[in-house]
């Protein structure tokens, strides 16, 4: 177990899997981009930004670990739109309006009156998920369920809704699409999810499902379209074979980053979002 813990911890630290501090969303004054904003602006965290070591984008800020074949780029390609991809690994809701780090502007800086489409995938890093997921993989004989996890997920609702309202103010002519979190863990788990017992696998997936519920409610209350990516992810969870799974497990072989999208996963989510956008026209 010691070796697997080192592998798991190294994967999280190197990738910035998820961050552990919940933060409030505080709108700040943002100047409209000189060009009025790109047609399509992508906002979000590593779930939208990166495929890890695959298709790494050297033109993006290094801390963002952005990919050239991530979901936003595939969506832009499918629609023939000019994309300003502001997604960045480890991003939290606050990073929509403040700099995430050196060389990384607030993500909302890209929004303007010319923006016609906005996609949003953010919030997991505000829920202390790293701590809870790590606990589930290293729980041993004790259950990993923690009532505080539900509270941390529910706590992002106000900040998330405020962010969606601000998008509408900064990009009044844009349609906003919010994509949720797909199926990560099938019932019972699998050996590739080192240390995760069957009952704890269900705990992890229930947390992602709860996060989807919070985000979907925020979208419905603020004029955005929620895109359910869970149903079509069936059979593509972290226990699926390489080439079919949408996320790498702890024993990551494609992205080298546990709980992060593979190239297949990015394409799968992009196809779902494209279908939702086309259906709204």
Which residues are known to be catalytic? Answer: 46, 260
Token pair of 231, please?
């149903």
**Residues with Cβ < 8 Å from 70, sequence gap 6 or more?**
48, 49, 50, 51, 55, 85, 87, 261, 266
**Residues with Cβ < 8 Å from 43, sequence gap 6 or more?**
86, 87, 96, 107, 108, 110, 118, 119, 120, 121, 122, 167
**Residues with Cβ < 8 Å from 94, sequence gap 6 or more?**
23, 24, 25, 26, 159
Q: What region does 223 belong to: left with phi over 0, alpha with psi -120 to 50, or beta? A: left
Cα–Cα distance between 9 and 67 in angstroms, integer? 23
Tokens 């993989």 correspond to what residue?
137
Q: Where are the beta strands (DSSP E) in the chain?
A: 40-44, 83-85, 117-121, 175-179, 225-227
Strand partners, 66: none
């Amino acid at each position: 177990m010691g070796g697997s813990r080192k592998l798991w911890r190294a994967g999280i630290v190197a990738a910035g899997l998820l961050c552990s501090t919940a933060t409030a969303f505080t709108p700040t004054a943002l100047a409209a981009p000189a060009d009025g904003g790109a047609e399509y602006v992508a906002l979000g965290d590593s779930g939208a930004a990166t495929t890890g070591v695959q298709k790494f984008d050297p033109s993006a800020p290094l801390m963002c670990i952005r990919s050239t074949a991530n979901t936003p780029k595939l969506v832009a390609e499918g629609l023939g739109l000019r994309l300003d991809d502001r997604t960045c690994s480890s991003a939290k809701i606050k990073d929509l309006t403040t700099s995430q780090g050196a060389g990384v502007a607030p993500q909302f800086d890209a929004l303007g009156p010319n923006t016609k489409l906005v996609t949003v995938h953010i919030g997991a890093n505000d829920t202390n998920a790293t701590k809870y997921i790590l606990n589930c993989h290293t729980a041993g004989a004790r259950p990993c369920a923690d009532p505080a996890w539900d509270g941390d997920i529910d706590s992002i609702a106000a900040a998330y809704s405020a962010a969606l309202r601000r998008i509408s103010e900064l990009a009044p002519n844009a349609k906003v699409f919010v994509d949720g979190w797909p199926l990560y863990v099938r019932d019972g788990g699998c050996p590739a999810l080192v240390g995760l017992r069957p009952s704890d696998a269900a705990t992890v997936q229930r947390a992602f499902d709860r996060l989807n519920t919070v985000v979907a409610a925020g979208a419905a209350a603020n004029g955005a379209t929620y895109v359910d990516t869970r149903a079509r992810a069936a059979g593509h969870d972290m226990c699926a074979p390489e080439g079919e799974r949408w996320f790498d497990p702890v024993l990551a072989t494609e992205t080298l980053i546990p709980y992060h999208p593979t190239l297949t996963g990015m394409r799968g989510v992009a196809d779902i979002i494209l279908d939702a956008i086309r259906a709204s026209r």
